[in-house]
Structure 1
Amino acid sequence: MHAVKPGDTAIELSGVTKQFTTDSGTPYTALRDLDLRVAPGEFCAVVGPTGCGKSTTLTLVSGLERPSAGSVTVHGQRVAGITPGVGFMFQTDAILPWKTVLDNVSAGPRFRGVAKRVALADARDWIRRVGLAGFEDRYPHQLSGGMRKRVALAQNLINEPEILLMDEPFSALDVQTRAKMSGELLSLWDLTRPAVVFVTHDLEEAIALADTVVVLTAGPATTVKARFPIDLPRPRVVQEIRFERRFVDLYHQIWEALRAEVDAAYSQSTSLGEKEAS
């Protein structure tokens, strides 16, 4: 476990540019001169229009991708490969369909060399924490979408990550289940307080969860447009915090910054569609 010092930074992207080569062989700049800092224990939500590079930002922090320019550091160490101490919760389920809930949750500790007896005991504890006690022997296909997301949370949090990357993890859920999962996420996050980068298209979700909301510009060549501190008190009840006057004020402020980027992205996609049709 990294020893946190005053003023420490858990994640820092400095002047990051990321280019890809398209199928036609032409370069595409996804990110340009992007700066982002996340403190230890901070819950940072990232919002922006479709295709603006939000997911790419997560892959750079995790070490799954390398920047074309600039630097990515985790706890002051430059990311040069798969970053240790980082959990990654994807938009689609990443749980193993041939393993039971218990085996899925215990897989991480066992892979790291934890004794089977200890790993299984810890897994049972985390399964209980996410509200799935009694479902240890079920397989993923026997679970609802919300239950599979609980398994994925337990799968990540059992490893006590210092950093948790979340790429629209609840987007496939219905509205009620999504709100319930958001509340459970906050309760579980509060147990170990990892630094979180949570990518979402849902501005209400971002404000309800985060300490900070970062708005990205429309792509290509995405960068940070604005950063908003969320001064809503914790602990929060996600289903109720949305009715607070301060929540509404924050929503209006952030939407003013986000709306122009959403409009720009829509105009770009419309223009591209018209060109392809002509």
Structure 2
Amino acid sequence: MTDDPVIRLRGATKRFRGASGVHTAVHDLTMDVRPGEFVAVVGPTGCGKSTTLSLVSGLEPASAGEVLVRGEPVRGIPAGVGYMFQQDAIQPWRSVLDNVAAGPRWRGTPKAQARELARGWVERVGLGGFEGYYPHQLSGGMRKRVALAQTLVNEPEILLMDEPFSALDVQTRGLMQDELLRLWAGSGAAVIFVTHDLEEAIALADRVVVMTAAPATVKASFDVPLARPRDVEEVRLTAEFLDIYREVWDSLREEVARSREQAVKAEGGRRVA
């Protein structure tokens, strides 16, 4: 990893205007991510974690502050960014192979070459033999493998992941976490991984960023000095993992409590009104 950030947020703020007025989702957000670094972002529900990804991806412009990718201000969707959402973007009328080939085709790759690239990635995510299947024929874990192949086939330099495994059962989720680490290793891609699961964040990341209750800003950043490669199930059982977990949770639980207090006050206000 170099010392020059590939992603840089400086005082980034995002406001949304709604029927009830202006809502500030994130405020004065400052964070760097270096090439090849895996950063997990945790925080209370609704604090603005997903908004942070939207700013980096160019899907939402910042209301104030700076968002830079490779040193350039984000004014649209930057080249080389892959985005994996909580809900997969698999097209039901396309086969597994054609879903994975869709990205390269959209970027102008000839059909035969795009399908060959897709076939390689279908194999790499463990779906060899399922190229001709359609989404309704796949399990939830298999659909996530397709979504992962869809994202990685374009070889992104920046990988944004918004709770991609949250809907999976515990066993399948662990398998997908290991699969992600295996495929990401050596790619040089910078990753921002948003999750509500602190164990998942620590098991995957080089660094865990804790966000405050809304409007979110960065409260603290914790290095994760666990050796790679990692087996996510085994690493959770180590004393080092538990030490890091306690340290991060001490910071995070204060924000979770604040978020709950805000929710109770808001609910009380609605009842009075």
TM-score bracket relative to the smaller structure: over 0.9
Give the Å deviation of 1:122.
Answer: 1.1
Question: What SS class does the counterpart of residue 123 from structure 1 fall into?
Answer: helix
Give the Å deviation of 1:191.
Answer: 4.3
Question: What SS class does the counterpart of residue 105 from structure 2 fall into?
Answer: helix
Question: What SS class does the counterpart of residue 192 from structure 1 fall into?
Answer: coil
Distance in 2 separating the partners of 1:204 and 1:96 = 31
Where does 1:225-236 land on structure 2 (aligned, <5 Å)? 225-236=219-230
From 196, 200, 217, the counterpart of 1:223: 217
User: Which residue does the alignment assign to 1:199?
Assistant: 194
User: Which residue does the alignment assign to 1:128?
Assistant: 123
Give the Å deviation of 1:87.
Answer: 0.3
User: Which residue does the alignment assign to 1:68?
Assistant: 63
Does residue 46 of structure 2 align to residue 51 of structure 1? Answer: yes
Q: How many residues align?
A: 272
From 110, 114, 122, the counterpart of 2:109: 114
Q: What TM-score do you get using the length of structure 1 for normalisation? A: 0.96
Amino acid in structure 1 at the alignment position of 2:206: D
User: Which residue does the alignment assign to 2:239?
Assistant: 245
Amino acid in structure 2 at the alignment position of 1:253: E
From 2, 8, 26, the counterpart of 1:12: 8
Distance in 2 separating the partners of 1:200 and 1:277 = 31
Does residue 267 of structure 2 align to residue 267 of structure 1? Answer: no
From 19, 22, 40, the counterpart of 2:18: 22
Give the Å deviation of 1:154.
Answer: 0.4
Give the Å deviation of 1:112.
Answer: 1.2
Percent identical: 61
User: Which residue does the alignment assign to 1:255?
Assistant: 249
Where does 1:82-97 land on structure 2 (aligned, <5 Å)? 82-97=77-92
Runs of 4+ off more than 3 Å:
none
Q: What TM-score do you get using the length of structure 2 for normalisation? A: 0.98
Question: What SS class does the counterpart of residue 113 from structure 2 fall into?
Answer: helix
What are the ranges of 5 or more consecutive residues in structure 2 without an aligned counterpart? none
Give the Å deviation of 1:192.
Answer: 1.5
Give the Å deviation of 1:110.
Answer: 1.2
Distance in 1 separating the partners of 2:108 and 2:46 = 39
From 148, 161, 164, the counterpart of 1:166: 161
Distance in 1 separating the partners of 2:138 and 2:6 = 34
From 34, 37, 40, the counterpart of 1:39: 34
Give CA-to-partner distance per residue, 1:220-276, whole Å, 9 cap, x none. 2x1100000100000000011000101000000000000000000011111211222
Distance in 2 separating the partners of 1:71 and 1:273 = 34
Question: What SS class does the counterpart of residue 21 from structure 1 fall into?
Answer: strand
What are the ranges of 5 or more consecutive residues in structure 1 without an aligned counterpart? none
Amino acid in structure 1 at the alignment position of 2:229: P
Question: What SS class does the counterpart of residue 87 from structure 2 fall into?
Answer: coil
Does residue 164 of structure 2 align to residue 143 of structure 1? Answer: no
